[in-house]
Structure 1
Amino acid sequence: MALRWRGAYLRGVGSDAGVGEVALAAGTRMGARQIALAAALGRGRVRVHPAPRVVVIAVGDELVLPSDPLREGALHDANSHALTSAIADVGAAAVRVGVVSDDRASLRECLQDQLVRADVIVLTGGLSEYARDTVKDVLGPLGTVRFDHVAMTPGGRQGFGTVHGDVRADDGDDSPGVPIFALPGHPVAAQISFEVFVRPALRAMAGEVDLYRPSVAAQSTDGWPSPAGVRQFVPATLVGSPADGYHVTPIGTPGSLSLTALAQANALAVIPERDVVVHPGQRVHCLVLDG
C-alpha cells in the first residue's frame, strides 16, 4: 500500500518560481518547456522576437534541380538547398523559392512577389561582372542595395541593402524595406558568406544574445600559403579540449573551394589579411561549426 502523508500530491506556493525571481530571462528561446512555465505562472501573452521569415532565391540560367539530369553547361543547384537548411538551423523560418532565371523581368517579378512574406531575402548567384548576371541591375531601382568587393576569400563580392518593391525609397516610401543579402554563387563561397554575415544578423533579429559561432585558438598541424590583403577562411578539422589545447588541420588544399572539404569540416580556420603564409605550429583562430 502506498504511503500517504500530509501535503502529498500538492504543489507548494512558489515551487515553480518565488517572489521576485526571474523565471524566464530576456533572450531565452521559447520552446515547449518555457511555454509551460509561462502558462503555469499565468502569462497568457509574452513579448517575443518572432522567428524571421527568410526567402531563399538562387539566380542563374545554368542551374537545374539536383534531381534533374545535367545539360551541357549546367550545374545542379546546391545553394538554395544548403542555405535553406542553414537558415532553419539558426531557428528562422526558411522559404525556398528555388532557381530564378537571369532574365531581368523574371528576377524582378520574383523579388516583388516575395516581398509580401519576407522579413529577409537571401539571394545567391548573379553577382559577377558578366552581362548575363543581372542581379545588380535589377536590385538597383528597387531600394538601397550596394555591392562591394570584401577583403575575404572565398566570397569577395557581396551585396547588402533593402528593397522596397515597386516604390523607390526616394519617392516617398517611409517603410524601412526588406533587408536583402546577395551572396556569391559558388556553393563554398555562399555558405562561408552566410556564416560570416547572414547567420549573426538572423540571430540578432530573433533576439538572441550570442550572435556568433564559438571560437578557439588552435595550433596548426600544417602550413600553407594565404593570399595577401584578404582574410582567408579554410575548412578544417579541429580536435582537442580546453584542458589539453586544440589542433587544427586544413582539409584538402586551402583555397581550392572544395565542397567535399567543407562537408567534412567541423571548423573554419581564419587567417588574417596580413599573413601570407601559415607555418606548422602557428596559432590559428578557428570558428567552430559543429560540436
Structure 2
Amino acid sequence: MHRTAHRPATVQAHRDKVRRLLSPLAARVEIVPLREALGRGLAADVTAPLDLPPFANSQMDGFAIRSADIPVGGAELRVTAPVPAGAEPAALAFGSAAPIMTGAMIPAGADAVVPIEQAVPDSFPPPGAAATVRLPAAPAGNFVRDAGSDIAAGEPALAAGSFLGPGQLGLLAALGLTEVPVHVQPRVLLVTTGDEVVEPGRPLQPGKIYDANGTLLDSALRQAGLQVTRTGISADDPAELELLLRAHAPDVDLIVTTGGVSKGAYEVVRQALAGHDVEFGAVAMQPGGPQGIGSLDGVPVLGFPGNPVSCLVSFEMFLRPVLADLFGSPAPRTTVRARLAEAVSSPENKHQVRRGTLSPDGTVRLEGGAGSHLVHALARANALVHIPAGTAALAAGDEVEVWML
C-alpha cells in the first residue's frame, strides 16, 4: 500500500533502499560477442587461459644474443638468419647474433636483446649475406618481454562487476576470448508528468513550460546503458497515469517517473500509486528531497522530483551509483578532492549537491545558485560538488568532494 515516510532519510539510507529494490535484476546474465559488450558490466570473473605474452619476445628492433657470449668490452659476433615477428626461430648458436624485430619470438638459447642503435654497424645486413656485428655487453633479460610478464595463465584477468571499456575488451581479445558474460541491460519506462509541461517544438501557452526532464533523464539513462521506453508527457489525471503505468509494466524492469511526488494538492504520481506498494517521503538532500520508491505489479518504481536539476541529481545520487554497483555499468563517477573558489552556505541538516566547474588548478567554481530550476547552470557545469549534512558553511579554499560529470 501507499506509505508516507515522515522523517527525512539520509542519502545513504535511500541509496541502500534503491539497491535492495533493484538487486534481483543483477542475477540476469547473457553471453555476448566482445563487440557487443562495450559499455556493459562483466557478470563473472575471468581467469587468463594462457600467458600474456604467450612467449618471450623482443621489446626492440635489435640483435638477440646469449649474454654470456659478450664480455664487458663487447664482442664481434656472427650474424645468423633474421627473426621476423610471427615466426618460430631456430635455436641461437653459440657466438652468434640474430637480427630480431619488435615483438618477435626470442630464439631458444638467447636471453637478451641489444638494440640496433648500439650495434656497429647500426643496421641489419641483407638477409642471407655473410656478416658480423660488434655488440656491447648486455645483461640477461635486456629488452626481453618474458612469457607471462603481463599476466600468467590461471591468474585473475578481470573481476565480476568490471566495466567493459576498450582496454578491458582488448585484454579479453588478447587472451583469445570471443564472447563474454554480461549483465542484462534493464529496460526502463520513463514517464514525465505535469499539465504545465509541453513537448519541445509545440506552441508555448501562458503558464506552460517545455519539458526538459524527458530529454535530460532519457539521455542520462541511455548513457548509463539502459534501454529506455518513453510514453510522452502524462497529464495530471491519476487514473489515466495508473492505467498507463500498468499497461507498460509487464514489458519493463524499472519504472522511473518525474514530478508529482511532493506534498502538494495535485501530486499525480502519489495519487496514481496510492493503492500500490510505493512509499513517498523526503531525503535530507538539496535539491531532490522528495522521492518515491516501491513497486507496481512487481516492477520496481522510482519517483523523482519534477524540477530538472532535482531530477538529474536524484539520478546521479541514487540510480546511477546503484547501477554501477550491481551491474558494473555505467562506470562509477570519478571522484576528486577540490578547493572551493568561493565561500558557500548550506542547510546544515541536508546533503547539498551544487553544480560546479573544476579547473586545471584544482579549484572548483560553483555554477548558479542552489535552485533546482537552473538548467543553464547545469549545462555549464562539469562536476557535482558535495556539501555533506552537518556542514552549514565552507570558506573559499576549503576542500570538497567533487564528482566529475
The bucket for the TM-score relative to the shorter chain is 0.7 to 0.9
Instruction: Give the stretch that moved more between structures: 181-190 or 88-97.
Output: 88-97
Where 1:240 maps in the other structure, the secondary structure is coil
- Stretches of 4+ moved more than 2 A in 1? 3-9, 17-44, 128-132, 201-210, 252-257
Where 1:48 maps in the other structure, the secondary structure is strand
Tell me, yes or no, if the aligned pair for 1:149 and 1:156 is still in contact at 8 Å.
Answer: yes
Q: Could you give the per-residue CA deviations for residues 221-262 of structure 1, whole angstroms, max 9, x where no partner exists?
A: 111322231111111111236xxxx21111123446411111
- Structure 1 pair 60/256, CA: closer, same or farther in 2 (3 Å)? closer
AA partner of residue 199 (structure 1): R
How many percent identity over aligned positions? 38
AA partner of residue 196 (structure 1): M
Where 2:229 maps in the other structure, the secondary structure is strand
Matching residue within 279, 290, 305 for 1:146 = 279
Matching residue within 328, 333, 340 for 1:220 = 340
Provide the residue aligned with 1:284 in structure 2. 400
Give, in angstroms, the shift of residue 208 of structure 1: 4.3
In structure 2, distance between residues paired with 1:6 and 1:224: 61
- Structure 1 pair 163/34, CA: closer, same or farther in 2 (3 Å)? same
For structure 1, list consecutive stretches of 5 or more residues without a partner in the other structure.
Answer: 165-176
**Which residues in structure 2 correspond to 1:172-183 (within 5 Å)?**
177-183=298-304
Provide the residue aligned with 1:86 in structure 2. 220
In structure 2, distance between residues paired with 1:163 and 1:256: 28
Q: Which structure has the larger Rg over C-alpha atoms?
A: 2
Where 2:195 maps in the other structure, the secondary structure is coil
AA partner of residue 303 (structure 2): A
In structure 1, distance between residues paired with 2:391 and 2:328: 35
Where 1:47 maps in the other structure, the secondary structure is strand
Give, in angstroms, the shift of residue 149 of structure 1: 1.1
In structure 1, distance between residues paired with 2:203 and 2:328: 42
AA partner of residue 184 (structure 2): P
**Which residues in structure 2 correspond to 1:220-239 (within 5 Å)?**
220-239=340-359
**Which residues in structure 2 correspond to 1:120-269 (within 5 Å)?**
120-142=254-276, 144-164=277-297, 177-208=298-329, 212-240=332-360, 246-255=362-371, 257-269=373-385
Give, in angstroms, the shift of residue 6 of structure 1: 10
Tell me, yes or no, if the aligned pair for 1:53 and 1:93 is still in contact at 8 Å.
Answer: yes
Q: Could you give the per-residue CA deviations for residues 123-147 of structure 1, whole angstroms, max 9, x where no partner exists?
A: 00112323322211221323x2111
Q: Could you give the per-residue CA deviations for residues 16-41 of structure 1, whole angstroms, max 9, x where no partner exists?
A: x9642545542344579849957985
AA partner of residue 135 (structure 1): V
Where 1:253 maps in the other structure, the secondary structure is coil
- Structure 1 pair 99/18, CA: closer, same or farther in 2 (3 Å)? same
Provide the residue aligned with 1:172 in structure 2. none
For structure 2, list consecutive stretches of 5 or more residues without a partner in the other structure.
Answer: 1-81, 89-103, 106-146
In structure 1, distance between residues paired with 2:284 and 2:372: 17
The number of equivalent residue pairs is 267
AA partner of residue 388 (structure 2): P
- Structure 1 pair 236/207, CA: closer, same or farther in 2 (3 Å)? closer
AA partner of residue 201 (structure 2): S
In structure 2, distance between residues paired with 1:6 and 1:223: 61
Provide the residue aligned with 2:119 in structure 1. none
AA partner of residue 238 (structure 2): R
AA partner of residue 252 (structure 1): G
Q: Could you give the per-residue CA deviations for residues 160-185 of structure 1, whole angstroms, max 9, x where no partner exists?
A: 11211xxxxxxxxxxxx221110000
AA partner of residue 281 (structure 2): D
Q: Aligned Cα RMSD in Å?
A: 3.1
Give, in angstroms, the shift of residue 154 of structure 1: 0.7
In structure 2, distance between residues paired with 1:178 and 1:106: 18
Provide the residue aligned with 1:67 in structure 2. 201
In structure 2, distance between residues paired with 1:216 and 1:7: 44
